Amino acid sequence: MARTTRSAVQSEFGFVNWGGKRRGAGRRPKGGKAGVSHAKRPELREHFPVHVTLRLEKGLPSLRRKEAYRVLKRAFGAGAMRFGFRLVHFSVQSNQHLHILAEAGDGRALSRGMLGLSVRIARALNRLWKRSGSVFADRFHSRLLKTPREVRNALVYVLQNARKHWPAFTRRPDLYSSGPWFDG
């Protein structure tokens, strides 16, 4: 008996999976739509303070309302000194972002402290607004303050940011910041 050889043929299934647009799929945006860069952050040493900015998702209520600010103050108090991280000053802005001046022992302490603080804030705000989902639009943006002049300028910027947006705040500190407790 002669034996014939047959090559194996892969059979195809009958369904078609086109994929389609999925949330978070594709390349990250560049230009004006881009968020905080995922490039490596500069090395942090414990004698350098940091100016941190957190942006909220679009469409959320203002943080400069009494209920939201009360929740934020509680979260700031509970997360102010954890993991070698210390929150020094803050400012809550109406255009959906927070400014924070912080100190940390190293980059890991800053990351862990900011992560803990942002999770605490997000959970509290979601509870207040009776919603679920992300509160912050992106990772935190940080800027290392290496000279005394940079520290002073950042302190003035954070504590007097409301004056830039609302000229009526020329004589008194912004009530939605740590300005009323600043004694310098």
Asked whether residue 117 carries a pLDDT value surpassing 60, the answer given is yes
- In angstroms, the CA 127 to CA 142 distance is 27
Is residue 154 a contact partner of residue 148, using CB atoms and an 8 Å limit? no
In a domain, 116, yes or no: yes
Position 74 in a domain? yes
pLDDT at 128 over 90: yes
The total of structural domains in the chain comes to 1
Kindly state whether residue 34 falls inside one of the protein's structural domains: no
Whether residue 183 is contained in a domain is answered as no
User: Which range of residues forms the domain containing residue 53?
Assistant: 43-173
Quick check: 135 pLDDT over 80? Answer: yes
Least confident interval from 61-75, 113-127, 152-166: 152-166
170 versus 89: the higher-pLDDT residue is 89
Ranges 15-29, 97-111, 164-178: which has the least confidence? 15-29
In a domain, 29, yes or no: no
Q: Which of 116, 100, 92, 114 is nearest to 53 (CA)?
A: 100
CATH number (domain holding residue 64): 3.30.70.1290
The reply to whether 152 falls in a domain is: yes
* Inside any domain, residue 22: no
> Which is nearest to 151 in space by CA: 67, 38, 75, 49?
49
